[in-house]
Amino acid sequence: MIRLLFLAAALCLTLPGPSHAQSLQNLLQTHADEVLKPGRRSVGVVLDDLVSSGLPQAVPFLEAWRDREIVQRDADGRFFRSADDTLFDLETGEVLGPAESDALTQSRPNGGVRRAIGDALVQFQLSDPDITKRRAAVDAIARSMDASQLTPLRMSIEAEPDTALKATKTRLAGMLAARFGKTPEARIDAIGGLAGDLSVDVRAVLNTILATTGDVAETLPDDVNLARLLQPGIDLTEAEAYRQLVANDLAPPPIPAHAIRAALSSNIVDGFVGGLAVHTLDTDENRMTAYRALAQAGEVPPLVTAQDQAAALASHVFYQAYDEPDIRITDAARAALDAIETRVAFSQAADLALDALSLASIYFLAAIGLAITFGVMGVINMAHGEFIMMGAYTGFVVQLFVPDYTLSILIALPLAFAVTFGAGVAMERLVIRHLYHRPLETLLATFGLSIALQQLAKNIFGTQARPLTSPGWLDGALVFNDVIAISYIRIAIFVLALIFLGVILYVLKRTRLGLEVRAVTQNPGMAASMGINPDRINMLTFGLGSGIAGIAGVAIGLYAKVTSEMGADYIVQSFMTVVVGGVGNVWGTLAGASLIGFLQKGIEWLNPSNTLAAQTYMILFIILFIQFRPKGIVALKGRAAAD
């Protein structure tokens, strides 16, 4: 209201006089405070004045303002444009000299104000020769969805040279028409045009048309466009329904417990209240009795009993009515939205499946090295997580020296393999080799290594998380529609997981090394007598498993974070993946990772507000699963299955 008055006043001031007589600087000076410290709700006056002034400098000024290039000189309060440390005059655009930040105060419009400026610029930019400005204008319309923009938008469609932008404009015009079209027919038409588009903004338009307001009345009024009737106790709680009644002055407010207590406390006379001794008032019943007595004496408002409330609820109708009065429009929007919602549900399921697949591939990647060292060799390597960490830090170090992200990743992947392969081989030679007959002690020794490595990483790289940045071409997401999208980095991880699966299967099943590995695992003595050197094979196998963990580390660091504790986050999960899937089998690990990934996403979907609970229940499920299928999903059979 106040804003309207202001607007009217501003129009009165600006309209009568010849607009060219006023300079931009003068106009800004009348609103100096608002220009310097604009607020979303108050900036409208300035924008309206600027737009209605018709000054040619207004548009470049608005653009500069939005980009935070407007400064005020502290000495005389005049405004200038400052860019690249140079000061420009607003009227003429000429260079005034270097900008000295000490003597200037910058105007910093916030996000809300920038959006308002964007809206004001729309009409000038819709047909601007610069396509980025036209795009910005279209974005601004899409964000604000204001009725006044329908006409200028429509006018600009015809002459739009860019086909993609033209399509966007047409679509946007359709959305605006659905909401603000002049006749109901035009709107229904436009709504029909939106059917089948499941993007968020189209749903936003339809939902806005279908916005409802809850209300309550004694009988249902005839003149509302009814969305649905509400049944207290089913569609809304009885307490909530009664609160609505109270809010509409249709029922007396209930007396809450603390009000009863306060009323009783303030009516104590000689140790008695309402005929009862104060010390007996330590039960709700006695308090009620005393309060009733007070109410009968007229000292306090009467109680509202549960029966009163139920009766009040029964004698009223609760309903939701569409804000849009025309039933034809709401019906059309409802039909369009219902059709979209079904598709959205399918898309959401697909998106969830994609997320699950991605999570599964991350688990698989983290666990596959373990599937070799633990699954094939039977070595419990608690330091596996630290190999993942070493890989990630290798990536970080490479990026320190190679600033090109694509090149650095290409170097980091083999280097991470080499580093962790070496570490794995060293560990096998120095520690694990001596403990092949004592598996539980391997667990403890490798745990010792794990805490030592973790602390070592802290000492070298600090506790702060380190950046590992993915190359530009992995930024962003593959968008199928507004619901189904997956980031490229996750796709890359998925592809990497597939490659590893292939490579490992190939190595184990098709190469001489794989044959020897399998021979040594099944019967080291016999393998040795066939001329295989078990020491060498164990060393290589362990190195291979560790090396893969290193590469996994680079991938995981790219999508999440690089810290000294990142390995610890994955180690228990990885062991469970291998155990659930079935030890000694790469396919088992794949099955285990898929099971865990899909299960976790499933539980998250059931309880979206608590991810921690999802993890807890997933582990519980795994514990139970192992009880009933101790050998995992893909259990080995026959001799190989012997412990």
Partner 1 sequence: MRHSFIAQNPSVLWFLLALSLFTLGVTVLSEAAGVAVISTSFVKTLGKTLCLCLIAVAMDVVWGYCGILSLGHFAFFGLGGYAIGMWLMYARTEAIVLDALAQQPLPPTPQEVSDAIGNQIFGVVGSSEFPWIWAFADTLYLQLLMIVVIPGLLALVFGWLAFRSRVTGVYLSILTQAMTLALSLYLFQNDSGLRGNNGLSGLQNIPGYEDTSQAVISIVFLWASALALGAGYVFFAWVVSGKMGSVIKGIRDNEARVRFLGYRVESYKLFIFTITAIVSAIAGALYYPQAGIINPGEIAPIASIYLAVWVAIGGRGRLYGAVIGAAFVSLLSSWFTGGGAPAVPLGFYTIQWTDWWLVLLGLSFVAVTLFFPKGIGGLFDYLVRKP
Partner 2 sequence: MVKSLPLSSLVTAGVLAAASAYACDAPIKVGVLHSLSGTMAISETTLKDTMLLLIDEQNAAGGVLDCEIEAVVVDPASDWPLFAEKARELLTVHDVDVIFGNWTSVSRKSVLPVIEELNGLLFYPVQYEGEESSKNVFYTGAAPNQQAIPATDYFLEELGVEKFALLGTDYVYPRTTNNILESYLKSNGIAEEDIFVNYTPFGHSDWATIVADVVALGADGKQVGVISTINGDANIGFYKELAAAGISADDIPVVAFSVGEEELSGLDTSNLVGHLAAWNYFQSAESEANDAWVAAWKAKMGEDRVTNDPMEAHYIGFNMWVNAVTEAGTTDVDAVRTAMYGQEFPNLTGGTAVMLPNHHLAKPVLIGEITADGQFDIISQTEEVPGDAWTDFLPESAVLKSDWQTLGCGMYNTETETCIQLTSNY
Binding site for partner 2 (CB under 8 A): 39-41, 108-115, 139, 143, 145, 200-201, 203-205, 207-208, 211, 258, 262, 344, 348, 351-352, 355, 358-359, 362, 458, 462-467, 469, 475-477, 482-483, 485-490, 556, 559-561, 563, 565, 569, 601, 604-605, 608-612, 615
**Least distance to partner 1, CB of residue 378, Å:** 8
Per-residue DSSP letter, 102: G
Provide, rounded to whole angstroms, the least separation between the CB of residue 453 and partner 1.
Answer: 8
CB nearer to partner 2: give 523 or 615. 615
Residue with tokens 């030592």: 452
Instruction: List 138's β-bridge partners, or say none.
Output: none
DSSP-derived secondary structure for 470-505: PPGGG-SEEESSSS-EEEHHHHHHHHHHHHHHHHHH
Q: If contact means CB under 5 to 8 A according to the sort of partner, which of partner 1, partner 2, none does residue 72 touch? A: none
Quick one: what does residue 355 bind among partner 2, partner 1, none, with the CB cut-off 5 to 8 Å set by partner type? partner 2
Q: Choose between 1 and 12: whose C-beta lies nearer to partner 2.
A: 1
List the single partner that 279 binds among partner 1, partner 2, none, CB under 5 to 8 Å by kind: partner 1
State the Cα–Cα distance between residues 417 and 544, nearest whole angstrom: 8
171 binds, options partner 1, partner 2, none, Cβ within 5 to 8 A by partner type:
none
Give the dihedral of Cα atoms 486, 592, 544, 536; nearest 10 deg: -170
Residues in contact with 73: Cβ distance below 8 Å, sequence separation at least 6, in sequence order: 79, 80, 103, 104
Which residue lies nearer to partner 2 by CB, 23 or 615? 615
Rounded CA-CA distance 121/62 in Å is 7
Q: Which residues would be at the binding site for partner 1 (CB under 8 A)?
A: 261, 264-265, 268, 278-279, 281-284, 287, 380, 382, 431, 434-435, 438-441, 443-445, 447-456, 458-459, 568, 572, 575-576, 579, 610, 612-613, 615-616, 619-620, 622-624, 626-628, 630, 643
**Residue 557 · residue 399 · CB < 8 Å:** no
- Long-range contacts at 131-135 (CB < 8 A, ≥ 24 apart): 131/162, 131/165, 134/160, 134/162, 134/165, 135/165
Rounded CA gap, 329 and 400, in Å? Answer: 60
Q: Which helix (H) or strand (E) holds 615?
A: helix 611-628
| 116 versus 290: smaller Cβ distance to partner 1 | 290
The minimum distance between CB 257 and partner 2, in angstroms, equals 12
3-state secondary structure 217-247: ECCCCCCCCEEEEECECCCECHHHHHHHHHH
Minimum distance, C-beta of residue 537 to partner 1, in the bound complex (Å): 21
Whether residue 375 contacts residue 578, with contact meaning beta carbons closer than 8 Å, is answered with: yes
Q: Nearest approach, Cβ of 487 to partner 2 (angstroms)?
A: 4
Distance of closest approach, residue 549 Cβ to partner 2, in angstroms: 17
* CA separation for the pair 339, 343 (Å, rounded): 7
Phi-psi domain of 77 (left: phi exceeds 0; alpha: psi -120 through 50; beta: other): left
The minimum distance between CB 273 and partner 1, in angstroms, equals: 8
If the CB atoms of residues 221 and 448 are measured against partner 1, the closer one turns out to be 448
Min CB(237)–partner 2 separation in Å: 11
Nearest residue (CB) to partner 1, 230 versus 379: 379
Give which of partner 1, partner 2, none residue 284 binds (C-beta under 5 to 8 Å, depending on kind): partner 1
Segment (H or E) for 27: helix 24-30
638 binds, among partner 2, partner 1, none (CB under 5 to 8 A by kind): none
